[in-house]
Amino acid sequence: MNDSPAIAEAVAAQRDFAAGLFDDLRALSIDEPGVTRDPYGEGENKAHRQFALVARECGFEVSTDFAANSFATLPGRDRAAPRIVIGSHLDSVPHGGNFDGAAGVVAGLTAMRALRSLGVEATCDLTTMAIRAEESMWFRVSYLGSRAALGTLPTSALDATRVDTGRTLADQMRECGADPECVARGDASLAPESVAAYAELHIEQAPSLLVDGLPMAVCTAVPGNFRYPNARVIGEYNHVGLPRRFRRDAVTGAVDVASYLDDVWQANEAAGRPMAVTIGQFFTDPEQHSLTHVPGEVRFSLDVRCYDEAQLASLEADLLDALAEIEARRGVRIDLGPRTGVPVGTMAPELIAALTESARRQDVPSILLGSPGSHDAAAFAAAGVPTAMILLRNANGSHNPDEAMEIDDFMAGTTVLTDWLFNAVSDAASLR
């Protein structure tokens, strides 16, 4: 029987453990003005070594897979039964914050310690997964570690190059002791059918909870996206005095693209269809551009995301039509380059309901909220695993050194997670 006060007390007793692990991770990866845990590099490696060290000290079973993901397991009665996985990533953007990703890993270990202190006997294994390479800005491919474990990472991802080293994912994986040949074969270290449910706790990457004065939300969906990391508008370099009718100006063509996308975003938001557009890079060639030169090329990156697959497909089809019109009008050529994308990650309705009930039982105020960011949870959901997320209040956004998750909010969210797990591990078969 769920004893809500006992669960809350058991989690509260882990406060110093959780705070200490956050401090240790920060100390290992400090890179002023923030932290850098580069994926399939030394920064991420240090964090995974610390995770393994702490998990062993806790008495959990520790393992790694062919993608160098790390696992800490509290064994259940039936070791062959589908397991429950709590997870998130340990990598970060350059000079990022200490909580993006790491909060979910620390929450998993904290919840497992609390459940063990309560003497909970699980019917299946309960595993905290520290996932590799979630931050797609490094290789420009999403969910590398989680999709590799699930057997859903495309072989082509192995040829993606890390933006700072220029080395392929396959090479970076080998350097970290991983085996990219397993990815090439489509192996799965965590086959979807072997996972009863996946849950991820993550800081919110927008100020919604901050504005609403709430510590947490139960996530309803993770947006899908399409991305063009290396798009170009190709015009014609020419003299600054060239009359307008003769120009093939790459900058004005690129500005038209950006303006079109912003108009589409505004129209969709006004119609109640949430989405987001990000042009993360937008630049002319520094070897060619000058004050007195009509620019002949602009390079840009594009990320478009939303919560509905039909809307996502429509946005992309309309974009392609709009680009053709801009090409004709501006006399330029638009080469979007290689495309990547991931499907919308819809959270399991029954898990949304269960987490909402756990929040009510634990007297933790919460709302239902879509996540504005991408998360490994979407990879699990896309693979058919029942998936859930808890979002935590966090000031100053993420992907910057000023992330400001409060430990009180972290403990509240972890209490809700632990309350749900208390029931889930006693009847894991009902999750599927």
Q: Annotated binding residues, as ranges?
A: 89, 100, 135, 202, 399
H or E stretch at 396: none
Identify the CA nearest to 114 among candidates 38, 269, 7, 262: 7
CA distances from 96 to 66, 99, 101, 185 (A): 27, 9, 11, 34
Identify the CA nearest to 362 among candidates 413, 426, 421, 423: 413
In sequence order, which residues have a C-beta less than 8 Å from that of residue 424 and are 6 or more positions away? 84, 196, 197, 354, 431
Quote the distance between the C-alpha of residue 51 and its chain's center: 19
Length of the chain: 432
CA distances from 398 to 100, 205, 221, 403 (A): 7, 5, 18, 5
Q: Report, in angstroms and rounded to the nearest whole number, the Rg of the chain calculated over CA atoms.
A: 23
Listed in order, strand segments (DSSP E) in 235-318 are 238-239, 275-278, 282-284, 293-294, 297-306
Query: Annotated binding site for Zn(2+): which residue ranges?
Result: 89, 100, 135, 202, 399
H or E stretch at 197: strand 195-203
Which of helix, strand or coil describes residue 265? helix
